[in-house]
Amino acid sequence: MLSEADLKQLDAVFSPRSIAVVGATATADKVGFNLVDSPLTSGFQGEIYPIHPKLNELLGLKVYPSLEAVGKPIDLAIIALNQYASVDAVETCGRLGVKGVIAIAGGYKEMGEEGEKLQARLVEAARRYGIKILGPNTLGMINTHVDLCSVFYPLKLARGDVSVLSQSGGVGLSLMHTAADEGLGLSKWIGVGNRGGLEFADLLQYLAYDSHTKVIGVFMEGTEDARSFVEVARRTVKHKPVVVYKVGKSEVAQYSALTHTGTIATPHKLAMDAFRQFGILPVSSLRELVAVCKALSLSDLPKGDNVGIHTHTAGPSIVIVDELAKRGCNIPPLQEATIQKVEDVIGENPPIILKNPMDVAGLGFVAEPFGRVTEAMLEDPAIDILVAVYCLHKNWRWPSQELIRAKQKHGKPIVACYISDIAGVKEDREPLRAAGIPVYITPEEAAYGAAGLVSYAKARQRGV
Amino acid sequence: MNVEQILAGAKDGFLLEPESKGILAQSGISTTACRVANTADEAVKLAEEIGYPVVLKALSPQIVHKSDVGGVHLDLNDASAVRQAYQRIKGATRVIDPEARATVQPMAAKGVEVIAGLTTNPQFGKVLMFGLGGIFTELLKDVSFRLVPIEELDAREMIGSIEGNGVLEGFRGGPAADVDAIVDILLKVSTLAESYPAIAELDLNPIIVYPRGAVVVDARIGVSRGRVETRSAPVRLPK
């Protein structure tokens, strides 16, 4: 458990006013160059001190020959040296009172016994001086609220309130790009690496404390401190959801995880059951992780697990029902009064059976009556949350205004599925977002989002 | 003997069935009687006391999986069957442990067979497991896990979340099994595991569940006083 003082120190490390890049280079294909380019690309307004023994200037920044030569306080040092030199650099940081270090290099615990010893030296050096150390073997960290990207892939991400812990750089990048496509802003992205200093549980505790984080997404291969992680999660989920995508189901995957970050894997079912016991929401793909985080970021929670589906296209609603049922959602029948209201909208004796999912194919695709059907369904006391499913059409507009009005009027969450390409939903996404309605372009993701809201509501009600 | 005394006298490894059941009984978990016979004559005498039909099981610190070595004889209805079973156990275990003896136990009535277990996971610590007996657990791996300690709701969710839980509700006209009795056992195992750090493993297989009540028919408890390894044995290389 981290103390209040530790958490304050981590605030300074993750929202630094000054950063040093140790091992900066002028060659664009090197990590040391990109770690300098990265905060510039993201528009970081704090001080950036590149460190190199011979260079004078890099990307318009003054280069310092050593950490000592900076002569000003450094909140965060990003170390791009090899695994051996990194140990000495941490020592130097310690003497200079640097608050935190990101150790980028690999070649530690994931390499076996010798690497494990080297990692122990690195971590011990940090511990001796009270430095918080992220990594080693990490892509780095991003904090959009101070416009800082310190991963060696220069990026500028949209701001948001979803923070991410990732045990993989590549998967973490995939998550960032998927989130960007989904119009989902991030708050912090933290590559946990080998977790030599800051463990999953520590970082989770920090994100629980962080005021810029509303939802926490985790990509996990495995961790020795799983018990502490779930214990911290149990406290966290009382006020912020924790969504975990854990891999390592197959034996081959378990072996790969060991050589990747030096952690053996636990039986998959055991981990999933333990997560649920402690109120964590387990997901089984990257897209599901993003979809659930997006729903939890945007939408309020349903009162129960009863999902209504309104559509004009049967197939996608069947896909959605399947995915919802797998995730413990209920698809209840509608009340007679609701059916009556729908009949009032679409006329008597329609050539369709009126039920839940409500497929009003006969209407074609007309936004205004769709809005009235949506309202009738939301009014039904049997329905806690609505999934609204429509397909992109050249001549018919999305019923976004109607959905927003219905949500405002009835105060129940709505998840929209606009079957389209990204370009087809771009204009509608922002007003829907502002109204707290997540919109997805595939039926599976819409189901993931709705089920995520239901699961978190249940976990909260269960009171883990 | 109480639980402390049994554990104090035990080396690391598996306790014998009478000791394991002794610990369970001390914890308020119902088990079938398990009495030790040193000779065939003693076995017959115990069987007469218990009442037929009885079960004979091999008793030896060298034998963990009794049925694999021909060490379990069920449904014995008279003295000659008991005598013959005792001799067959002695014969089957001669090479493994010439000192092997047998326990005599009442033959439990038929019911729904379930399994409860405890393992110590290097990452999560003590973990409870629940499953249905036979192929449900062994072949289909239809089991659920929870970290110790559990609460009643956890126990109910553990039971409710397995795929084959319909079996407990009364399958093909059978009566419904007493789920409350299973919940009770799971909670008691959780408390036992939490109270005694030395209990690292536990296997109640099977537990027979009736319309009212449940009884542990076979049990073994693994004792380990060593610090739990944070890195278990290396992962097997994929072929």
Domain B35-106 has CATH 3.40.50.300: no
**Measured between alpha carbons, how far is residue A327 from residues A452, B66, B221 in Å?**
8, 41, 36
Inspect the interface and report whether the beta carbons of B143 and A222 lie closer than 8 Å: no
Neighbours of B206 (CB within 10 A): 22
Length of chain A: 464
Element (H, E) at B146: strand B143-147
- pLDDT value of residue B235: 36
- pLDDT value of residue A367: 83
A198 and A279 part of one domain:
yes
Average pLDDT of span B161-166: 90
Chain B residues close to A269, C-beta within 8 Å? 141, 143-145
Cis peptide before B53 (omega within 30 of 0): yes
Q: What confidence tier does A259 reach under pLDDT thresholds 50, 70, 90?
A: low
Q: What is the pLDDT of residues B71-95, one digit of tens each?
A: 999 999 999 999 999 999 999 999 9
- pLDDT value of residue A352: 78
Which amino acid type is present at position B72?
Answer: V
Does residue A40 lie within any of the structural domains?
yes
A304 and A294 part of one domain:
no
Query: Mutating which of A270, A276, A455 best tests the B interface, going by the most B Cβ atoms within 10 A?
Result: A270
| CATH T-level assignment (fold) for domain B3-30+110-223 | D-amino Acid Aminotransferase; Chain A, domain 1 (3.30.470)
Does residue A317 lie within any of the structural domains?
yes
Q: Give the pair of three-digit tokens for residue B136.
A: 């449900």
d(CA A420, CA A426): 10
- Out of A279, A298, A317, a domain closes at A298
DSSP helix/strand/coil, B216: strand
Chain B residue closest to A267 (CA)?
A: B121
Which amino acid type is present at position A174?
Answer: S
**Measured between alpha carbons, how far is residue B165 from residues A269, A273, A305, B118, B207 in Å?**
17, 16, 22, 20, 15
Residue spans of the domains in chain B: they are 3-30+110-223, 35-106
Name residues 216-235 of chain B within 8 A of A (Cβ).
230-232, 234-235
DSSP β-bridge partners for residue B208:
B113, B215
- pLDDT value of residue A241: 98
Q: Give the pair of three-digit tokens for residue A437.
A: 């309605």
Inspect the interface and report whether the beta carbons of A270 and B161 lie closer than 8 Å: no
A73 and A90 part of one domain:
yes
d(CA A403, CA A420): 17
Name residues 120-159 of chain B within 8 A of A (Cβ).
121-125, 127, 141, 143-147, 150, 153-154, 157-158
Of B127, B153, B237, the CB nearest to A270: B127
Does residue A144 lie within any of the structural domains?
no
Q: Who wins on pLDDT, A252 or B198?
A: B198
φ, ψ for residue B213 (rounded to 5)? 95, 170
Q: What is the pLDDT of residues A107-139, one digit of tens each?
A: 999 899 999 999 999 999 999 999 999 999 999
**Closest by alpha carbon to A216, among A185, A237, A193, A195?**
A237
Does residue A146 lie within any of the structural domains?
no
- pLDDT value of residue A354: 86
What number of CA atoms fall less than 13 Å from residue A312's CA on the CB side? 22
Does residue A87 lie within any of the structural domains?
yes
Q: What is the CATH number of the domain that holds A18?
A: 3.40.50.720
For chain A, give the mean pLDDT.
94
d(CA A64, CA A331): 64
d(CA B187, CA B205): 17
Does residue A152 lie within any of the structural domains?
no
Name residues 192-251 of chain A within 8 A of B (Cβ).
222-227, 230, 251
A229 and A170 part of one domain:
yes
Query: Mutating which of B235, B236, B239 best tests the A interface, going by the most A Cβ atoms within 10 A?
Result: B235
Chain B residue closest to A225 (CA)?
A: B123
Q: Which residue has the tokens 């097997």?
A: B236
Of A230, A252, A255, the CB nearest to B147: A230
- Out of A271, A298, A325, a domain closes at A298
A391 touches chain B (CB under 8 A): no
d(CA B100, CA A13): 65
Chain B residues close to A251, C-beta within 8 Å? 235-236, 238
- pLDDT value of residue B233: 35
Q: Who wins on pLDDT, A366 or B199?
A: B199
3-state secondary structure B188-207: HHHHHHHHCCCEEEEEEEEE
A109 and A191 part of one domain:
no
- pLDDT value of residue A154: 97
Query: Mutating which of A229, A264, A327 best tests the B interface, going by the most B Cβ atoms within 10 A?
Result: A264
DSSP assignment string, B72-120: EEEEE-SHHHHHHHHHHHHHHHTTT-TT-EEEEEE-PPP-EEEEEEEEE
Q: What confidence tier does A266 reach under pLDDT thresholds 50, 70, 90?
A: low
Alpha carbon distance, N-terminus to C-terminus of chain B: 49
Tell me whether domains B3-30+110-223 and B35-106 share a fold: no
Please check the confidence at residue A464 and state whether its pLDDT lies above 70: no
- pLDDT value of residue A81: 96
Which amino acid type is present at position A277?
Answer: Q
Q: Give the pair of three-digit tokens for residue A270.
A: 């055991």
Domain of A121, in residue numbers: 1-138
DSSP helix/strand/coil, B126: strand
**Closest by alpha carbon to B131, among A249, A248, A273?**
A273
**Out of A405-419, B182-196, B213-227, least confident range:** B213-227
**Closest by alpha carbon to B210, among B170, B178, B172?**
B178
Q: Give the pair of three-digit tokens for residue A77.
A: 């040092």
A227 and A198 part of one domain:
yes
Q: Which residue has the tokens 């092997």?
A: B100
d(CA A136, CA A443): 39
Q: What confidence tier does B230 reach under pLDDT thresholds 50, 70, 90?
A: very low
Most confident listed range (A307-311, A349-353, B224-228): A307-311
Q: What is the CATH number of the domain that holds A307?
A: 3.40.50.261
Q: What is the pLDDT of residues B18-75, one digit of tens each?
A: 999 999 999 999 999 999 999 999 999 999 999 999 999 999 999 888 988 889 999 9
The distance of B150 to chain A (nearest Cα, Å) reads: 9
The pTM for the full model equals: 0.92
Q: What is the pLDDT of residues A288-301, one digit of tens each?
A: 999 999 999 999 99
Chain A residues close to B147, C-beta within 8 Å? 227, 230, 274, 277-278
B143-147 and B125-132 strand pairing: antiparallel
**Closest by alpha carbon to A190, among A165, A211, A207?**
A165
**Closest by alpha carbon to A35, among A89, A93, A69, A78?**
A78
d(CA A192, CA A198): 8
A192 and A124 part of one domain:
no
Q: What is the pLDDT of residues A85-112, one digit of tens each?
A: 999 999 999 999 999 999 999 999 989 9
- pLDDT value of residue B129: 95
Inspect the interface and report whether the beta carbons of A224 and B231 lie closer than 8 Å: yes
d(CA A414, CA A396): 21
A237 and A340 part of one domain:
no
Chain A residues close to B148, C-beta within 8 Å? none
- pLDDT value of residue A328: 94
Q: Give the pair of three-digit tokens for residue B70.
A: 């021909």
Cβ distance A369 to A346 under 8 Å?
Answer: yes
DSSP B169: G
3-state secondary structure chain A: CCCHHHHHHHHHHHCCCEEEEECCCCCCCCHHHHHHHHHHHCCCCCEEEEECCCCCEECCEECECCHHHHCCCCCEEEECCCHHHHHHHHHHHHHHCCCEEEECCCCCHHHCHHHHHHHHHHHHHHHHHCCEEECCCCCCEEEHHHCEECCCCCCCCCEEEEEEEECCHHHHHHHHHHHHHCCCCEEEEEECCCCCCCCHHHHHHHHHHCCCCCEEEEEECCCCCHHHHHHHHHHHCCCCCEEEEECCCCHHHHHHHHHHHCCCCCCHHHHHHHHHHCCCEEECCHHHHHHHHHHHHHCCCCCCCEEEEEECCHHHHHHHHHHHHHCCCECCCCCHHHHHHHHHHHCCCCCCCCCCCEECHHHCCCHHHHHHHHHHHHHCCCCCEEEEEEECCCCCCCCHHHHHHHHHHHCCCEEEEEECCHHHHHHHHHHHHHCCCCEECCHHHHHHHHHHHHHHHHHHHHCC
Please check the confidence at residue B115 and state whether its pLDDT lies above 90: yes
- pLDDT value of residue B43: 97
Most confident listed range (A185-199, B122-136, B165-179): A185-199
Please check the confidence at residue B171 and state whether its pLDDT lies above 90: no
B148 contact partners, CB below 8 Å, separation of at least 6? B118, B125, B126, B127, B128, B190, B193, B194
Q: What is the largest CA-CA distance in chain B?
A: 55
**Measured between alpha carbons, how far is residue B86 from residues A173, A267, A433, B44, B104 in Å?**
66, 40, 76, 9, 10
B13-14 and B219-223 strand pairing: antiparallel
A307 and A448 part of one domain:
yes
- pLDDT value of residue A255: 57
- pLDDT value of residue A224: 86
A310 and A453 part of one domain:
yes
Percentage of chain A surpassing pLDDT 70?
Answer: 95
Alpha carbon distance, N-terminus to C-terminus of chain A: 19
The distance of B120 to chain A (nearest Cα, Å) reads: 11
Of B124, B141, B154, the CB nearest to A266: B124
Cβ distance B43 to B81 under 8 Å?
Answer: no
Average pLDDT of span B205-210: 96
A304 and A168 part of one domain:
no
Does residue A150 lie within any of the structural domains?
no
A284 and A372 part of one domain:
no
Q: Which residue has the tokens 């009566």?
A: B175
Please check the confidence at residue B181 and state whether its pLDDT lies above 50: yes
Q: What is the pLDDT of residues A48-65, one digit of tens each?
A: 999 999 999 999 999 999
Q: What is the pLDDT of residues A314-370, one digit of tens each?
A: 899 999 999 999 999 999 999 999 999 998 888 877 777 889 999 987 666 678 888
Q: Who wins on pLDDT, B227 or A424?
A: A424
- State ipTM: 0.89
φ, ψ for residue A414 (rounded to 5)? -125, 135
Give chain A's domain count. Answer: 3
- Out of A80, A106, A138, a domain closes at A138
Inspect the interface and report whether the beta carbons of A266 and B236 lie closer than 8 Å: no
Q: Which residue has the tokens 């993201």?
A: A42
**Closest by alpha carbon to A157, among A136, A175, A131, A137?**
A175
Inspect the interface and report whether the beta carbons of A462 and B147 lie closer than 8 Å: no
The distance of B187 to chain A (nearest Cα, Å) reads: 15
Cis peptide before B234 (omega within 30 of 0): no
Does residue A352 lie within any of the structural domains?
yes
Please check the confidence at residue A186 and state whether its pLDDT lies above 90: yes
